[in-house]
Each structure stands twice: as structure tokens, then as C-alpha cells.
Amino acid sequence: MKLIRNIKGIVAFSRQARLKGKSIGFVPTMGALHMGHLSLIKKSKKENDITIVSIFVNPIQFASGEDLKRYPRDLKNDALLCRKSGVDAIFCPQVKSFYPQGYKTYVQVEGLSDHLCGRFRPGHFRGVTTVVAKLFNLVSPDTAYFGQKDAQQALIIQKMAEDLNMPVKIRVLPTVRHKDGLAMSSRNAYLTKEERRDARVLYQALSCARALVRQGKKNVAQIIQQVKSIINKKKSARIQYVLFVDTQDLEPISRIKSPVLLALSVYIGKTRLIDNIVI
Ligand code: AMP
């Protein structure tokens, strides 16, 4: 497995693979890898000759006051996991060379970026689409793999790739959860023992909503009220949003239809967690 830190290196590696006629699967991450990331890597391995993983805590997707500085970083363990999973190359650029002084170009998907998390994290998705567009240019993947855990991000990236005619197929894979339902996330590492217990409530609340919809309940406001009341029972929980939205344009809906995306963002203590299900 190659550990590539510079731009020239990743371009050369990808070009070599292409010259040999190999297909490239790409998994962009911010590191602190867990089973969610590994599920994407596994699928990429299955579907491509070469798998490249990027590990880059992208500063421009964090607003000031967010957790950029303390975001978990553990390249040694990440490299170990990647090697075990049969990854061919890790690309982990330095911020200075990725965004050199005078950097001025940004990619923004309008509309989709304004809903859900976009309302509370202005500039976040502009940072995400910019980094992913740059990574796509460097890696030239045939297929790139994303998690449904970040449903809005996945939709935005699909739209970007489509609108900008990027020659890459976007695959979105299911959310990997702990046994108790909590979606795996690098940010779970911030939780205290007690908070970790409370965090189970996110998936419990989502599951309750799914049951209500399946029973035929159609009133969005009532279901959201139920979800909120389940979450609010936990002392450490503070809801940012709970919304039913259209699975394609992310516009809020007022009556349940199928399929529908139920997405939520909740602070557990100081840790902001997101989760969603498609019903
Ligand atoms: P991150 O390192 O958090 O930026 O995530 C990198 C990729 O892994 C993104 O496409 C995420 O959606 C995906 N991912 C993160 N957590 C999970 C999970 N629990 N299940 C599936 N995919 C995930």
C-alpha cells in the first residue's frame, strides 16, 4: 500500500493505473476510520481493480468555532486498517499544498446545500463540494463511494458530478450502525460514557417514526412531535432539527409520501450528531 502525501504523487499513481487499463475506486474520508468507512472500501475493492482512500480533514468545510482543531486524527491506525482492507493507496495531502496561498476557486451546488445541515452550517457544503471536486480531478476515479449516513452530502455530490459532467459514477451505501443502533461516526469519539448511552436515542426516535409511518400515520407535524419528545427525554440532548424532506430535492414535506427522508441533527452534550432514515 502506498502512502501518498503530495499532489504530483497521486496524479502519477492514478495515471499509471489508468495506463495499465485498471479501474479506480475512490473513497474520500476525513480519517479516524471505522466500520462505516470500511464498508465503502470493501465495496470499492469488490467493484474496482484499484482502491484509493483519501484522508484529509478539510479545513474549508468547518466554520469558525466548529471542531476542526480537535477532529480526531490517527493516521497510523487508519493506515493499518487500510492495509488490512487491501487498499492500494492512501492520499493524505497537507493543507498548505492542497489550498496554497492565494487559493480562490470554490464549487457550490445551489438549493440542495441550503436545506437541513446547510441552514445551520453556512459554507459547509461549499467546502465539501470544493474538496471532492479537487480530489476527483487528482484521483480520476471511475467510481466514488459515499455513505447514506450523510444523505444530504451524497445528494449534493451526485448533483455536482452530474451538473459538471464529471466522468465518475457515484455510489451511495447504507449507514453502518453499532449494535444499539447508533450510526458510526468519527465524532462519536467525543462522547462521554453517559452521552454515548444517551446517543442511542437518535436511532430509537427514527425507528419510532418509521413504525408510525408504517402504521399509516400521515400527519408530519404529529410524528415530528413524537420524535422530538423521545429525544428530549435525554438530559444531554438538544435538538437542532428533525425534518421530513423529499428524498431528491430535500424540500420539507407536509404530508407523508413514499419514499421520504427523515433527517435529524441533535447535540448530545457538545457533540453534534446527525442521522437519517429513508421510509
Ligand atoms: P467522513 O470521514 O466522516 O467525512 O466520512 C467519509 C465517508 O464515509 C462519507 O461518504 C460518509 O458518508 C461515510 N460514512 C461515515 N459514517 C458512515 C456510516 N456510519 N455508514 C456508512 N458510511 C459512513
What's the longest Cα–Cα distance across the chain?
58
Q: What is the CA radius of gyration of the chain?
A: 19
CA distances from 235 to 44, 194, 197 (A): 40, 10, 11
**Spacing, Cα 215 to ligand 1 middle (Å):** 31
| Catalytic residue ranges | 37
**Spacing, Cα 19 to ligand 1 middle (Å):** 30
Instruction: Tell me the whole-structure pTM to 2 decimals.
Output: 0.98
Contact 153, 170 (CB under 8 A): no
pLDDT of residue 243: 98
- Characterize the bridge pairing of strands 261-268 and 237-245: antiparallel
User: Cell digits for 83?
Assistant: 492495509
DSSP string of 141-155? -SEEEEEGGGHHHHH
Residue 262's CB is within 10 A of a number of other CB atoms, namely: 24
pLDDT of residue 153: 98
DSSP string of 65-82? TSSTTTS---HHHHHHHH
Exposed (0-12), middle (13-18) or buried (19+): which is 113, by Cβ within 10 Å?
buried
Segments of the chain scoring below 70 in pLDDT: none
pLDDT of residue 127: 98
pLDDT of residue 16: 98
pLDDT digits (tens, 9 = 90+) for 21-60: 999 999 999 999 999 999 999 999 999 999 999 999 999 9
For 148-201, strand residue ranges (E) read 169-173
Question: Which residues have C-beta atoms less than 6 Å from ligand 1?
Answer: 29-30, 36-37, 39-40, 146-147, 149-150, 175-176, 183-186
Quote the CA–CA distance of 24 and 42 in Å, as a whole number.
13
**Spacing, Cα 34 to ligand 1 middle (Å):** 9
- CA proximity to 39, closest of 123, 149, 128: 149
Instruction: Name the phi and psi angles at 70, rounded to 5.
Output: -100, 10
